Homo-oligomer: A and B are copies of this chain.
Amino acid sequence: MDISIGELSRRTAVKVATIRYYESVALVPCPPRSEGRQRRYGEHEVSRLSFIRHARELGFDIEAIRELLAMSAQPDQSCAEADRIARRHMAEVDRRISQLTALRAELQRMVEACGHGRVGDCRVIETLANHDQCEHASH
Q: Does A129 contact B (CB under 8 A)?
A: yes
Copies of this protein in the complex: 2
Of the candidate stretches A16-24, A25-33, A96-104, the one touching chain B is: A96-104
CB <8 Å contact, B90 and A104? yes
With a cutoff of 8 Å between Cβ atoms, the chain B residues found around residue A93 in the complex are 100, 103-104, 107
Total contacting residues, chain A, CB less than 8 A = 55
With a cutoff of 8 Å between Cβ atoms, the chain B residues found around residue A14 in the complex are none
CB <8 Å contact, A76 and B119? yes
Given contacts A72-B129, A107-B58, contact A122 B50 (CB under 8 A): no
Of the candidates A100, A110, A121, the one having the most CB atoms from chain B within 10 angstroms of its own CB is A100
CB <8 Å contact, A117 and B47? no
CA distance A124 to B82 in the complex (A): 6
Q: Does A62 contact B (CB under 8 A)?
A: no
Given contacts A54-B128, A128-B55, contact A72 B119 (CB under 8 A): yes
